[in-house]
Structure 1
Amino acid sequence: LFLDYRIWESPLLQAAKENNLPAIRKLLTDRTCDIYQRGAVGETALHVAALYDNVEAAVTLMEAVPELVNERMTSELYEGQTALHIAAMNQNITLVKALLKRGANACTAQATGHFFRHSSQNLLYFGQHVLSFAACVGNEEIVQLLIENGADIRAQDYLGNTVLHILVLQPNKTFACHMYSLILSYDRNKEGPGSLELIANNEGLTPFKLAGVEGNTVMFQYLMQKRKHNLWSFGPLTTVLYDLTEIDSWAEDQSFLELIVSTKKREARQILDLTPVKELVSLKWNMYGRHYFCFLALFYVLYMVCFTMCCVYRPLKPRTGNKTNSRDNTIYVQKMLQESYVTYEDELRLVGELITVIGAVVILILEV
């Protein structure tokens, strides 16, 4: 409402909103009219025309004032947003073509305002670049236009996320998978070490690992299907080979399996039941985990036996003093330190006590 009120205050912004071409042309020739005036959130007349899908008004403004094409909004909420961002978001292909034809920057323009940040308070997260905006709304034609006009598919936002990372985070997972494949088809190094899929964000997560952390099972299965190779088939039997890069890479600092287990997203646990992760976890358990678990279990049982025996045979002696209270039924009392370690049995108990203390320290360190 505040935005509409401020637009109503400005004749040029109001004309752009209503697609009133005669009024726009008249105001552009009026010397008293500031053609660069801005509204409540730092928008120009071209931003308003793009917001309301008024292509004719936008073209008239661009032809009269070419500098408006790459003007960015200036408010903290929408800072950096250009008319091309808005046109891509509204899937207005005609306006996108008109903007690109007149020099709109599809490569470096970034929307950095608070509205475009990734947080629980924002309803959407489309990144900062125009390409990620178009990819997230699912318009293939606009995506192709932007890439053909210089949009960088490797561009990263303030979190280090590429357009592939951002697609992983979208709620509409089916179209995100389709758009993921489209973007990847433009990657010239998709088979090499410089592949777009191997670019990590600021947290060290590739799009594949991010899908695991977020519990995006649809995207995970889609990516695994791309890595699957059928070796041979014999009737109902099929031998399948999976590329386990990023899944079973022991040399990496962040293990995929560890990320899934440690993430706070409950949906991520479902990935442990999917092929080939399920088979890999089972294999690792049978080869390594089972023996490690049995060893620790045996160690803990022996430790508890030692602790129990030390408690049972703790140094006590019969009570010799007079009872002053009829309700006092104490029979044994603790020996003095000098009396506690005299016999051979006491020395054996001392060894057990040392084992108990050292074991407690080791368990504490392992737990922390």
Structure 2
Amino acid sequence: ALFVVLTITFVVLCNFLSRFCRLSIFCHFLFCFLWFVSFLVLLFREHSVSLLHSLKASSSRSGALGETALHVAVMSDNVDAAVALMDGAPELINEPMTSELFQGVTPLHIAVANQNMNLVYHLIGRGGDVATPRVTGLYFRKRIGGLLYCGEHILSFAACAGNEDIVSMVIDAGASTRIQDYRGNTLLHILVLQPNKTIACQAMDLILNRDAELDQPVPLDMVPNYRGLTPLKLAAKEGNLVAFQHLVNKRRVVQWSLGPLSSQLFDLTEIDSWADSMSVLELIVGSHQREARRILEVTPVRQLVSLKWNLYGKHYFSYVTYEDSLRLAGEVISVLGALLILLLEIPDILRVGARRYFGQTALGGPFHVILISYACLVVLLLVFRVCGVQGEAEVMAVCLVLGWCNVMFFARGFEMLGPYVIMIQKIIFGDLTKFMWLSFIVLIGFSTSLWMVYMTQEPDSIPSYRSFPITLFSQFELSVGLIDLPVDHTFTTPPIVHVLHVAFSVVSYILLLNLLIAMMSDTHWRVAQERDELWRTQVVATTLMLERRLPRCLWPRLGVCGLNYGLKERWYLR
């Protein structure tokens, strides 16, 4: 319509001027040019308006993952397209993704993760919310096999990316440093779980410095998650040696320095098991991560364990004086010892769970099976004696075997024998157990076949096969090489007997025995790589067990109180 009005006006004007004025060709050309320019301006304006309307209409549409056009522009790091979208459709700035995998992801999450400062600046400047949005999609949750865990909030994404300028920008825009995700993990917890440990430690320093400005009653590094783990405890449990050492050094106090010599106080809070039922030492002992055991070599954990062991741990494995020998004899022969074992072990089983208590090497798992079985059989022996039940000798024989086998448990307190006890545990309760199951199947099969054949022969012709139990035991002796082949060639035996003996010899001697040797060699090699670490872990586990058994009045707390040095009421190790 505007173009039609403009054309009519132009024609009338030209006719009027041509009648009353003499115009040159140049003037006519100038009028035509101005009319053409006006036409292009009007055409461009109409096209821009229609494009903007279509952009607003299409911007509200989402893709297969619930993303908008602004998500795509930010993910592609296209600043120009993102700015145009924000100016044309500002409602997209805080619009989250809606798919199950990417639920809650806003454009600001993506810009922060990609460390695009220009986009972060434009998004925050145009009203981007830095505090409320939370990512709840399955792709961003911590799970087994997951590739990405950066928390839920925008600030946690920024901290994991490690860009200090973006972290400061997000905090200045109103993000809280005390945010927690669905697991209760704070920013420090999330940084402990990041693969790039150097960047994570740098981000920890920045977050702690900014949080200190708030003057909170509880420091951020002391805030636990929903499992009761602080960042320091989580680093110990996950075996993050770098993060653990970094957090410990943040708490240390340097008393004085003289050239290469210095005096430092290390805070034992959360590390010492004296006042914490879920201390760092407890977590290291119960962790399945091999890296967690390496924390035992870190200052001050190594010095703390050494002090505990030398103070009261190693004395339980030494019998020097005459009184000690009497105490040892009393513990061996006393029936009260068996009852005491049950009273002491049952609370530990309930505390850590039967699976960990009997199955974990560091906690002495296989020896706990022996110890509980020994105590139960001693109590059963008393019942047999009181009730006059026959079979007391058999129970006592088993008790003696278990009791003497349990003596190996105390050998782990010595550096010379401890690692080899661990190796014996692994072989007996790993390789040998599997081998015995396979051997049992083979023995049952061949013993049944041979006994069926010998049933048709004279019972006294071959005593080793006169009954099925004896046949089974004879085959076992034959499989381990204790006896020669019990076949009397003066009697006529069916050919199938020779076939069965040959097959049994091949399966038992050549196959199963060599399989056991190969399994034991593999176990020996694997355990040899970490036997010293496992032994140190057992020392810590034994020390913690002894701490729980001692009365609190006889359980000294290690370290020095910080009040002596003008510090907080915490305990330090110098």
C-alpha distance in 2, partners of 1:229/1:146? 31
Q: Deviations over 1:151-172 (max 9, x none)?
A: 1111001111111111111111
Aligned partner letter, 1:114: L
Q: Superposed, which structure 2 residues align to 1:199-278 within 5 Å?
A: 199-234=223-258, 236-248=260-272, 250-278=274-302
State whether residues 184 and 190 of structure 1, in contact with CA within 8 Å, keep that contact through their aligned partners in structure 2.
Answer: no
C-alpha distance in 2, partners of 1:189/1:205? 24
C-alpha distance in 1, partners of 2:284/2:215? 26
C-alpha distance in 2, partners of 1:298/1:206? 45
Aligned partner letter, 1:206: T
Displaced runs of 4+ in structure 1, greater than 4 A? 23-27, 189-192, 292-295, 297-301, 354-357
> Quick check: 1:184 aligned with 2:165?
no
> Quick check: 1:50 aligned with 2:74?
yes
Instruction: For residue 30 of structure 1, give the secondary structure of its aligned residue in structure 2.
Output: helix
Aligned partner letter, 2:233: K
2:130 to 86, 106, 116: 106
Instruction: For residue 358 of structure 1, give the secondary structure of its aligned residue in structure 2.
Output: helix
Q: Who is 2:195 aligned against?
A: 171
Q: CA offset at residue 32 of structure 1?
A: 9.4
State whether residues 190 and 197 of structure 1, in contact with CA within 8 Å, keep that contact through their aligned partners in structure 2.
Answer: no
Q: Who is 2:339 aligned against?
A: 358
Q: Deviations over 1:235-275 (max 9, x none)?
A: 55322211222222633342121111111111011111111
Q: Deviations over 1:193-225 (max 9, x none)?
A: 421111111111111111111111111111222
C-alpha distance in 1, partners of 2:85/2:259? 67
Aligned partner letter, 1:70: N
Q: Who is 2:64 aligned against?
A: 40
State whether residues 109 and 129 of structure 1, in contact with CA within 8 Å, keep that contact through their aligned partners in structure 2.
Answer: yes
Q: Superposed, which structure 2 residues align to 1:134-173 within 5 Å?
A: 134-173=158-197
Aligned partner letter, 1:172: N
Q: Return the structure number with greater relative CO, CA threshold 8 A, min gap 6.
A: 2
Aligned partner letter, 2:118: T
The 1:293–1:160 alpha-carbon spacing in structure 2 relative to 1, beyond 3 Å, is farther
| Alignment coverage as a number of residue pairs | 299
> Quick check: 1:83 aligned with 2:107?
yes
Give the gaps of 5 or more residues in structure 1: 1-22, 307-351
Q: Deviations over 1:16-52 (max 9, x none)?
A: xxxxxxx997543139934310000101111111111
- How does the TM-score come out when normalised to structure 2? 0.48
Q: Greater CA radius of gyration, 1 or 2? A: 2
> Quick check: 1:117 aligned with 2:141?
yes
State whether residues 190 and 196 of structure 1, in contact with CA within 8 Å, keep that contact through their aligned partners in structure 2.
Answer: no
Aligned partner letter, 1:358: L
- How does the TM-score come out when normalised to structure 1? 0.74
Identical aligned residues as a percent: 52
The 1:360–1:126 alpha-carbon spacing in structure 2 relative to 1, beyond 3 Å, is closer
C-alpha distance in 2, partners of 1:252/1:210? 15
Instruction: For residue 142 of structure 1, give the secondary structure of its aligned residue in structure 2.
Output: helix
State whether residues 160 and 191 of structure 2, in contact with CA within 8 Å, keep that contact through their aligned partners in structure 1.
Answer: yes
The 1:26–1:188 alpha-carbon spacing in structure 2 relative to 1, beyond 3 Å, is farther
Question: What is the RMSD of the two structures over their aligned residues, measured on CA atoms?
Answer: 2.7
Q: CA offset at residue 191 of structure 1?
A: 7.3
**Which one has a larger percent helix, Structure 1 or Structure 2?**
2
C-alpha distance in 2, partners of 1:36/1:263? 49
The 1:24–1:79 alpha-carbon spacing in structure 2 relative to 1, beyond 3 Å, is farther
Q: Who is 2:310 aligned against?
A: 286
Q: Deviations over 1:263-291 (max 9, x none)?
A: 11110111111111111111111223234
Instruction: For residue 75 of structure 1, give the secondary structure of its aligned residue in structure 2.
Output: coil
The 1:29–1:223 alpha-carbon spacing in structure 2 relative to 1, beyond 3 Å, is same
Instruction: For residue 238 of structure 1, give the secondary structure of its aligned residue in structure 2.
Output: strand
Identify which range, 215-224 or 81-90, moves more after superposition.
Answer: 215-224
C-alpha distance in 2, partners of 1:31/1:139? 33
C-alpha distance in 2, partners of 1:233/1:87? 45
Q: CA offset at residue 125 of structure 1?
A: 0.8
